Structure 1
């Protein structure tokens, strides 16, 4: 009976530690004046952050992970240069298999290798060119060096 209690206690502690680790992982802070708020989904090896406008439109998405997302971004689709987390990057136009969809011109995607086992995949779904530029500027200013985020790249 004592062995059963010990095993149960160990399992409960392990579950609590896993839940605690997932709760401490968080999206980077958004500027208070951005009008955006994060919706977050944390898994054991990645965090997905979706920034939404007050009317519920998702405009900025980010996946922070320890694994390379492995997305092929072709040079022909390169658009603007930028930075994220202190790393230089290129934003890429979305490739929709040759289809020209409405609003596609103001959408971008990029993948940034932050360090050995830390990647950020970011995509923007802006309403127009002005919002695209604003979201790219906002993305450059996000702080990935908070203690909670440092632990997300297991």
Structure 2
């Protein structure tokens, strides 16, 4: 028979891990209903945040936060209507992606800190694309910063 104390400790540890993932300043805050978690890979002047689907272990989308804009949106690649991500109006772009066959959407945000966030979604089908775009459009960048400038 299990005692309540180990179960309570296990629950506290699980909650602490979730809280840490949600409060990391390197990556934007995920929406509470998202079934993804961040994997963080820091670089010299950027951080690469991979939103990993908890159930499948597959990447749902990624965000690169950096001091310079590495993605150059092209007007001809715009798809759909304008969207708002954390108060910033933007467009999703669908670059030519004949090689992999994946559905790809990208956008670029300039953050209040002066850094840039490049969001890229790669999906196998329309259902995955819709889910990942919804999660990406619900990100919050207010606490994201790359350390001292």
TM > 0.5 fold call: yes
Q: In the alignment, which residue of structure 1 is the partner of 2:122?
A: 125
Give the aligned partner of residue 61 of structure 2: 60
Q: 1:26 and 1:111, CA in 2 relative to 1: closer, same or farther beyond 3 A? A: same
Structure 1 residues 48 and 151 mapped into 2: Cα distance closer, same or farther (>3 Å)? closer
Which residues of 2 match residues 36-75 of structure 1 at below 5 A?
36-53=36-53, 54-69=55-70, 71-75=71-75
Say what the alpha-carbon RMSD is for the aligned residues.
2.3
Q: Which residue of 2 aligns with 1:21?
A: none
Q: Structure 1 residues 24-33 or 133-142, which shifts more?
A: 24-33
| Structure 2 counterpart of 1:114 | 111
**Following TM superposition, by how much is the alpha carbon of 1:27 offset from its aligned partner in structure 2, in angstroms?**
1.4
**What is the DSSP-based 3-state SS (H/G/I as helix, E as strand, rest coil) of the residue aligned with 1:145?**
coil
Runs ≥4 residues deviating over 6 A = none
Q: Does 1:89 align with 2:90?
A: yes
Pairwise CA distance, 1:136: 1.8
Partner residue in 1 for 2:8: none
- Secondary structure, aligned partner of 1:33: coil
Q: CA, structure 1 residues 92+153, in 2 after alignment: closer, same or farther (shift >3 Å)?
A: farther
1:59-101, CA deviations, whole angstroms, 9 ceiling, x for partnerless residues? 11100111121x33322221132122321111111224xx364
- Unaligned 5+ segments in structure 1 are 1-23
Whether 1:34 aligns to 2:15 is: no
Instruction: Quote the residue 1:102 is aligned against.
Output: 101
TM-score, normalisation: structure 1: 0.68
TM-score, normalised relative to structure 2: 0.70
